[in-house]
Amino acid sequence: MEEKKSNPIKVFLYISVWVIIWGTLGSLIDYPLYTNKIYLEGSLYQYLTFAITAILSVICAKFIFKKIDL
């Protein structure tokens, strides 16, 4: 049985797209919280917002990666 070889360019682009998705999603969640003064810029809560969206993004990326052929 042959092992599947991944194309490094496609994998790099896949990871890059997920970093963009994570940053965009994190910013979309962060913006209303920051503008409504729920928390201040650079606070622990802002870091938590981006950390949680990063964790969710990694989970989604791994789940989808298994389903597509790179």
Residues 12-64: tens digit of each pLDDT: 999 999 999 999 999 999 999 999 999 998 999 999 999 999 999 999 999 99
CA 70 – CA 67 distance, rounded (Å) = 9
> Tokens 């940053």, residue?
23
pLDDT at 2: 65
**Cα–Cα–Cα angle for 59, 60, 63, rounded to 5 degrees:** 85
pLDDT at 60: 94
Q: Where are the domains of the chain?
A: 20-67
CA 1 – CA 44 distance, rounded (Å) = 49
At 61, list the tokens.
């990326």
